[in-house]
Structure 1
Amino acid sequence: MKYSPQQSLLIWYEKNGRHTLPWRLTKDPYPIWISEIMLQQTQVKTVLERFYFPFLERFPSLEALAEAQLDDVLKMWEGLGYYTRARNLHTAARECRGTFPRTAHDMISLPGIGRSTAHAIASFAYNEPLPILDANVKRILHRFFALSKRDEKQLWTYAYQLFDPNHPFEYNQAMMDVGATVCLAKKPLCDVCPFKPACLGKGSPDAYPEKKTTRSKPIRTSVIRIYRRDNRYALMQRSSRFLHGLWGFSETVNLPIGSTDHFLGDITQHYSHFTLAGTVYLSDEPFEDERFEWFSLDEIKELSLSRADHKAMALLRYNLDQKREDGC
């Protein structure tokens, strides 16, 4: 029998595919959409164990997500990072007005849904014959066709060339699974790959694609001041693009000369484009800024904070606990 990469892939998927993933057991576009957005920048194991089910329990439908407050959505997203994803989910749910689009073409008009994500949702929910191009699929295409150059437009051409339009759901799911479990970024398992007979890059998979030039991330220093007044603490809901919607403590470049602030500790938080090195202080100095609101410790638990602010909060709680133990 003549070798067919598409047929080989489907046979492999039937035997080895991750068929029990919950978003593969439904044709409802809403949970499929949620899973696709969560899986951007996040591993399947993390999404399954900590975020997917609690999020859907809190917002079980498109309408529930649209009616929710952004604060609630961000709180349920806490720990997943890349909070723009959560904000886009919330905005898109409201734009849908109760009905999720039925074609990839219409899905792309929603915030946070790019071409590959739209293709994925449309092929999984509606069996629309469209290929996807996530990180795993890109790696497979680079190796299968021996493509060194990182050129997304070119990759889309090859994605359609290898695609099986007769089985869009199975093909796309299989491609993701092969990329996640076989065609690995490091030490790919070429001997068990369904594409091995026709893969042009199997002899030197590490050569495809060409390596990215790595640059060290800059370090930004910051002084985080936790202002206290009558056992309440000042936080501001961020309005800038970075960490938009999350609550945070006051940040400055330097501690003012003559400050009586109490040193709590240092934190480090890694972001995609820089590393934050923060020094955290507790301040009982007078503080007036209309952008800030005052919260008790219990109320802060209900707010959505960045990871850096969570670390600052942990230092504060540790300091308060130590003082209680010391009888202060």
Structure 2
Amino acid sequence: MKYLKLLLLSCVIVLISCSDDDASNTTSEPNLIIKLKFDPTQGRLGNSGQPVSVAAGNAAQSPNVNRMSANYIEFAPNAFTLLGEGEIIFEGAETNVGGGNAIDFQNATFAGNNETFFTIPLSQVNDGSFDWVRVSLAYQEGNIDFLADDGNDYTGTLASFVGYNTYISTFDLNGSDIVVNANKLQGFWAFETLGFTAQGQAPEGATTVPNPLFDSSPIPQGSCVVTGQFENSLEITGDETEDVVVTLSFSTNNSFEWTEVNADGKYEPSAGEQVVDMGLRGLIPIVD
């Protein structure tokens, strides 16, 4: 009987040892990790991807962006790869609840500065060498400064819907509920400060969407597909054993622009100064 107990104990020890060995030999699959970064010191670009200054008669400031959402990310092999013909690695939720096809804001993916936007196994990404990345931006939220009619400076929270079309039911903006229940085209915005809220619409086509491939690979009017070039090509071989991390660094350099009524460089909505541009001002993809 004692011999039988010793034999059973030995078998249990062997089984536990084998189980531990199997666990130690298990390796996790490497991933492609996409992070976001918002940089107010990055170059300020126009629609053609060239440096531009603030338009005459306007003023601008660099908002403190808190979070952002994108609806589409694509790696492009070269400057002649047309939109949709590259390696599409992310597509966000869409809906037709509001009538036409639109970004589904309630089911969108968000990330803040230096945060992970999404992760995908590298086994789901086709091998290739990629020089460019395209990102269809959907939403950005951040703080801006403004001058009130009492002569004091305040800070408010701005929600900018820069996607081609977005269905919005309701959303929380700094503790205030904004009710929309409709599709909104690119340029819709909402603003909150001290419990007061306002909504508006930037002019059609006014949102800047930098695309250095303006001539060789255009994007549709009204979309917000920002294009950026890798300093060195991103190589996906299929033999990776470690995660590949790509940080999408967006320029917020004077990206909030308005028409000046009082030429003082301060945003004064009470004076009738109108928002004309909320588009980000460039994209640099960085392989960490």
Same-fold call, TM cutoff 0.5 = no
Larger strand percent: 2
Structure with more of its chain in helix, by fraction: 1
Q: Normalization by structure 2: what TM-score? A: 0.23
